[in-house]
Amino acid sequence: MIIAVLQARTGVPALPERALTPLCGEPMILRQVERIRLARTVDRVIVATSALAEDDGLAGLLVARGQTVFRDDSENRFMRCVEAAGGAEVVVRLKADCPFIDPALIDEVVRAAKASGASYVSNYLEPSYPRGLEVEAASAHALGRAASGMDAEAAAESSPMRWLRTRPAPFPQVNLRAPRDWSKLDWRMRTPADLAFAAGVYGALHEADPGFGMEGVLALLQGRQDLARWAA
């Protein structure tokens, strides 16, 4: 089984309600889930969030729409989510400030993980994709080994996925590269202007293709002066 874990919170300092910001009539978090579900290799999507009261609204919205949610307040929320899910072969980690995550790119990373047998596969080690399109995948076995090998101090400062990323010797890695280097582009949601950018892209592309990919966004940016700063 391939599971995708989308880590999401409200209350982040810069944009506390970004996950609930509407994009084409739905909260951004639901648009992200929609896109992840379009990945053909993913069997199950789980949103991991905190058990704090400030995230009750986020969790309630997701559950009401039939989305599996895992809530935990520990520093190891991601790994506890993986363990609670059970039965995973490969685990995909995604972040909730990235409404343009490309379903086809998720599939590419997962297929590379299965074909290579590597412990860790991503497009993150040597960046070439726009920021906000990061996909990390790891074998559940390697994540378990990493979690058991981390002492208390390391666990407080890192996560098993990051542990794998920084230790290529015991944990073989594969990095996927884009056709050209777009790593200077930043499509993450960090400012109100970024949210307006997302609204503009979704407004132009979502109706025709809810799973629009990176190429569609790049093509749109070439013809939209109002969005030119995200193409520079």
Distance CA 163, CA 166 (A): 5
| Residues 6 or more apart in contact with residue 223 via CB below 8 angstroms | none
| Residues 6 or more apart in contact with residue 199 via CB below 8 angstroms | 22, 23
Distance CA 129, CA 132 (A): 8
Tell the residue number behind the tokens 């790049």, with chain if given: 218
In terms of Cα–Cα distance, which of 94, 232, 111, 105 is closest to 177? 105
Give the pLDDT of the chain (232 residues) as one tens digit per residue.
999 999 998 877 677 788 999 999 999 999 999 999 999 999 999 999 999 999 999 999 999 999 999 999 877 889 899 999 999 999 999 998 899 999 999 999 999 999 999 999 999 899 999 999 999 999 999 998 888 776 554 554 467 888 888 887 888 999 999 999 999 999 999 999 999 999 999 999 999 999 999 999 999 999 888 888 888 6
pTM above 0.75, yes or no: yes
With 0-12 / 13-18 / 19 or more C-beta atoms within 10 angstroms meaning exposed / middle / buried, residue 53 is exposed
State the fold for domain 2-230.
Spore Coat Polysaccharide Biosynthesis Protein SpsA; Chain A (3.90.550)
Note the helical H segments in 86-139.
103-116
